[in-house]
Structure 1
Amino acid sequence: MSTLRDLLDAFDELPQATELRARSYHDLGEVVVDVGCGGGRAVGELARLGARAIGVDRDPEMVAAAAARWPAGEFHVGDVTALPLPDASVTGYRADKVLHVVEDPAPALAEARRVLRPGGRVVLTGQDWDAIVVDSADPDRTRALVHARADTMPNPRAARQYRNLLLDNGFTDVTVEGHMSVFTDALALPMLAGMDDDRWFDEQADRAAHDRLLVAVPVLLAAGTRGD
């Protein structure tokens, strides 16, 4: 049975995920914090690029596993709204697939601004959970299931709010990019398993078995600069 870490590793190793991760590393500078670091892959990759890379996650077990797997990085247990870092201590702040689990992302952006040096860069990436595309024989049911699944999350539409969140919290030079992650095999099935409709899911599993599955996930990447 696959563990959460196994699934994260499988997604992280896809070419589209690798390319987007590399894109998110641009111009983060020499001291970078990766918030919600999970298994620590981004921290390890940033360290290999020459940065002092710091991973923060609220799950102690995940932090311990990340530290064992990526010894070149630094790892700490902490919350997105209370990072264990001094003021103005990093040149880059990265949060990937984090803000959709935060009820109110504004304090997290205020914390990002606190730890960034003036001129430091913030990068936010994440999927819009309310806009996932799934090919299905019952599009009305699919639309309802996607919306219902999104509504179980604290902030499923956080990604479409990234630009305004950055602007509202005093970041400048804000940019937004749209990317689409497309899945056509069984790797996407765990993402659909929480849709809570066995007959609908059985159709998707059958599509995967016969090379007819299509799931497309819109991912947004937003970046900004901390001004003085």
Structure 2
Amino acid sequence: MDSTDIRPVTGAAVPVGSRTAADGGEAFVHYLDLTSTLRFFQRYKERSYSALDLDAAARVLDAGCGVGTDAFALAERIGPDGVVHGVDVDRHLVDEAVARAAAEGWSERARFHLGDVTDLPFPDGSFTACRADRVLVHVAEAGTAVRELARVCRPGGVVFVSDPDYATVVIDAARPELTDTIVRAYAAGLASPYVAHRLPLLFRQAGLRDVTVSADTFVVSDLAVAQQVLELDLMAERAVRSGAVDRRAADGWLEDLGERASRHEFFAAVTGFGVRGRKPGGPSGTGSRREGAQPPSTVPRDPASGGER
């Protein structure tokens, strides 16, 4: 478990796992860029990369790749014979990733595709390692997504998924029961807010073996940082809109947090789980080869995104 002190950053809010590209293209790009600068995220991402057992010729899938930041970091860890393929359901993010790859010289070793993690556009066994970070919390059919990651992973390869668990959100406040109500209302706006603690089961159901679990806890005592990472204002607003609490209670909750911060008494935390599994070895994998599918290196170019599909 990792806890860390994090200094405030400026700009748009940086929720741990709630915001999606649907909330606004440029704002979401800014969110992804900001999270990549926070030490907590940098540290757990480094550990997640190491868990993939990459070699010089690795073929890696980054599902829910966003603007490509993790794909570029992975490309740095493999040799010139390796390649990272990023997939995202949002065309704006794919376009941005393609543009950044070209600008930063990664186009040959980091390629990006428009696609859905629950229906990946690759044949069985295409990759030596597959990962998804803060993605399945936004996916209603999380079990299908894990099965897809397992399907496109080669026998003997590694699948790694990490997500925040909204059952672990802790915010110290005067009225704990009100805090619990507000957090639950916020979590209800996510597709799979509690998927993180179900991942070990989903991995085993997908046929993955040697399943291990790691935990990383984001601890924050700075209200400004908590606003950016946990979206406290949106928590309160969502609770009001859903009818879980009234406006007076929500405003009082936020005021209490502000008063605690002024006395240097603010505290909040949320834990994320990273789950690693290995696809069984042998000539046969899980699932069957998709009829008519092509290997990632030969998938036709998608003119709309400027990348390969």
* TM-score tier (shorter): over 0.9
Instruction: Identify which of 243, 256, 281 aligns with 1:203.
Output: 256
Write the letter of the residue equivalent to 2:117: V
What's the % identity of the aligned pairs?
35
What is the 5 A alignment of 1:28-67?
28-29=53-54, 30-50=58-78, 51-67=82-98
Instruction: Identify which of 118, 123, 130 aligns with 1:93.
Output: 130
Write the letter of the residue equivalent to 1:119: G
Write the letter of the residue equivalent to 2:94: V
Cα drift, residue 136 of structure 1: 1.4
Whether the 8 Å CA contact 1:54–1:75 is kept in 2: the answer is yes
Specify the alignment match of 1:77 in structure 2. 114
Considering Cα pairs closer than 8 Å and 6+ residues apart, tell me whether 1 or 2 has the greater RCO: 2
Counterpart Cα distance in 2 of 1:65 and 1:165: 31
Matched, 1:188 2:188: no
Instruction: Identify which of 202, 216, 226 aligns with 2:269.
Output: 216
Moved more, 33-42 or 218-227: 33-42
Cα drift, residue 100 of structure 1: 1.5
Counterpart Cα distance in 2 of 1:102 and 1:68: 26
Counterpart Cα distance in 2 of 1:167 and 1:131: 23
Cα drift, residue 81 of structure 1: 1.2
Write the letter of the residue equivalent to 1:75: F
Secondary structure at 2:46 match in 1: helix
Secondary structure at 2:274 match in 1: strand
Counterpart Cα distance in 1 of 2:98 and 2:258: 35
Moved more, 216-225 or 36-45: 36-45
- The alpha-carbon distance between structure 1 residues 210 and 52, as it changes in their structure 2 partners (threshold 3 A), is farther
Write the letter of the residue equivalent to 2:253: W
- Unaligned 5+ runs, structure 2: 1-10, 13-26, 238-249, 282-309
Instruction: Identify which of 96, 113, 118 aligns with 2:150.
Output: 113
Specify the alignment match of 1:131 in structure 2. 168
- Unaligned 5+ runs, structure 1: none
Which string of whole-angstrom CA distances, capped at 9 and with x for unpartnered residues, describes residues 14-61 of structure 1? Answer: 112111001111234311111111122110100111241111110100
Moved more, 64-73 or 201-210: 201-210
Cα drift, residue 114 of structure 1: 1.5
Specify the alignment match of 2:293 in structure 1. none
Moved more, 31-40 or 188-197: 188-197
Instruction: Identify which of 9, 31, 44 aligns with 1:20.
Output: 44
TM-score (norm 1): 0.92
Cα drift, residue 211 of structure 1: 4.6
Counterpart Cα distance in 2 of 1:39 and 1:205: 34
- The alpha-carbon distance between structure 1 residues 85 and 166, as it changes in their structure 2 partners (threshold 3 A), is same
Specify the alignment match of 2:280 in structure 1. 227
Whether the 8 Å CA contact 1:38–1:57 is kept in 2: the answer is yes
Write the letter of the residue equivalent to 2:97: A
